[in-house]
A and B are shown apart, each in its own frame.
Chain A
Amino acid sequence: MAAALEITGLRKRFRRDGEWLDVLAGVSFDVGPREFVTLVGPSGCGKSTICNVVAGLVRPDAGTVTVSTGRVAYMQQKDLLLPWRTVLDNAILGLEIQGTPRAAAHEEARAMLRRFGLEGFERTYPATLSGGMRQRVALVRTLLCRRELLVLDEPFGALDAMTRAAMQGYLLRLREEFGRTVLFITHDVEEAVLLSDRIYVMAARPGRIRAERRLDLPRPRRATDPGVVTEKAAILDLLHAEMSEAFA
């Protein structure tokens, strides 16, 4: 089966303070259809740049990016809810731009919001919601876009532990229901192990893939599962080795 996302030899340099910075130095990986793939790495390894390239916001200096499923849906740590739109109108933003009539879009969004426990908040403005609720709305918006590939760049990073756990549960259940392909970015190794089918461990400065881990652990996974613990330890070792190299 053709990969949903295929990246080969991605290179990107940025100019910072008058110098050229190699952010990505030949990154190659792929994400299969309906796979949950996570990129884990220290800060500065270019994870966000990869997301921006996949989303089409940044052009690479070299390499290819092939998204077989058309455009991607992108969600960041910032919820980016438009403050002047109600929760419902924020949720339908993608649909609206795609040309869906408002009534139909509203209906679809209402159903989704209900599933996320946001029933009753359709007419409120983002300013009155907490961070967790806003990120939920952002997730609804992202999912409603009907795009096969979801790129999620540390989406739960700003949330407290309990909310994060809940959101992770959500993501998994909805992926089962809607069968989307996910490229997930995080620096939280445990989160990566709990969610992913495969994990790429990245190195920084310049950014490159260091290792690939296939997780054949049964779901649902818990942090205390021995398989999870082992995997997490292994990945942390890889990362620590990375860090010591960097500081040497």
Chain B
Amino acid sequence: MSVLRAAQGDRAGAAPANLHRRAGVGAGTRLRAYAARVVPPLVLLGVILAGWEAAVRVFDIPFYILPAPSRIAGVLAGDRALLLGEAAVTLGEVLLGFAIAFVVGVVLALAIFSSRTVERAVYPLVIASQTVPVFAIAPLLVVWFGYGTLSKIVMAALIVFFPIVVNTVDGLRAADPDMVNLLRILGAGPAEIVRRVRVPAALPFVFSGTRIAIATSVIGAVIGEWVGSTRGLGYLMIHANAQLHVDLVFAVIVYLSVMATALFWTVSLVEWAALPWRRAETAAQAEGEV
């Protein structure tokens, strides 16, 4: 055993104690690392907002063309209840639409992956479905699914569907064929191979697609609301616009932005929690190992 240790020359650290020590130092460095991630975008955002406010005042831009951030902040505070209420409706549509698209998308991806016939027949249609502009589909959806929440959910689902399918298929195909062979040699059956190798290998891709999808699904729900609904942030936006409440329109945009960003980061957080091995991978890469 000691023969091996002496011959190692591994930078990974011979003794487990090293590992623990590195982790222990974490507390202070982790805080610093967190700050390093969060502070720059916040600072940049602050600069942009300050510039915006200044521009509005200096150039005397009328509020109905471009409201100043201070004005928008006033609406965000004053109409808090209204905005939160409508945001809840839109969020509901987004989450439901996403859930449906995720399930359908993953199932379809598995089908495309397992059958060449399905792939040849279905994949081109999936891609084509994305090229139709969202605005053109929206009225059709309303005709088919009515003016209620369902058409908004379907709208969000349609937008989410494509990145999920594509990324999942790519992920399933990403498994190292040598790993697949290894499992075959070890005696694993095809279902076991899918379970033990293909699915875990596909997960990072699925998360990647999900991250993109969920942020853009907010747009889908909003457009769905534009063409047929009486609740939600999209509806509030056009209603405010019709009454020339331009600062309320901007407040809605802020909400939509925050919603999409929050959903994006939630997915990242879930991935971080669900895939501890990815954390190890990124950490190793960061330190220049591997």
Contacts and interface: CB of A to CB of B under 8 A. Distances in A.
Given A82-B197, A163-B7, A128 B1 contact: no
B207 to A, nearest CB: 13
Nearest to B184: A57
A212 B276 CA distance: 50
A165 B281 contact: no
B139 interface: no
Interface residues of A, number: 42
A116 B4 CA distance: 8
Contacts of A29: none
Contacts of B9: 132, 160, 162-163
A128 B187 contact: no
Contacts of B275: 84
Interface string B277-290: 10011011100011
Contacts of A132: 8-10
Given A76-B178, A78-B178, A128-B283, A120 B19 contact: yes
Interface string B203-243: 10000000000000000000000000000000000000000
A8 interface: no
Contacts of B58: none
Given A72-B185, A120-B19, A163-B9, A128 B284 contact: yes
Interface in B154-208: 176, 178-179, 181-188, 192, 196-197, 200-201, 203
Contacts, number: 103
Interface stretch (A12-20, A92-100, A214-222): A92-100
Nearest to A170: B4
B132 interface: no
A12 B200 CA distance: 34
Contacts of B182: 74, 80
B143 interface: no
Contacts of A129: 10, 12
A5 B280 CA distance: 41
B185 A55 contact: yes
A119 interface: yes
Contacts of A97: 183, 186-188, 192
A127 interface: yes
Contact of B277 (A83, A117, A165): A83
Given A115-B1, A128-B12, A145 B7 contact: no
Interface string A81-109: 01111000000011001100000000000
Most A C-beta atoms less than 10 A away, residue of B8, B19, B176, B284: B8
Given A55-B185, A125-B277, 19 more contacts: A82-B197, A84-B203, A93-B183, A97-B188, A116-B1, A120-B19, A125-B280, A127-B284, A128-B12, A129-B10, A130-B289, A133-B10, A133-B12, A145-B186, A160-B9, A162-B9, A163-B7, A163-B9, A166-B3
7 contacts: A84-B203, A121-B19, A124-B280, A127-B290, A128-B283, A162-B7, A166-B7
In the A-B complex, the 9 residue pairs with the closest CB atoms: A120-B16, A125-B280, A166-B7, A127-B281, A130-B10, A117-B4, A84-B200, A127-B284, A84-B277
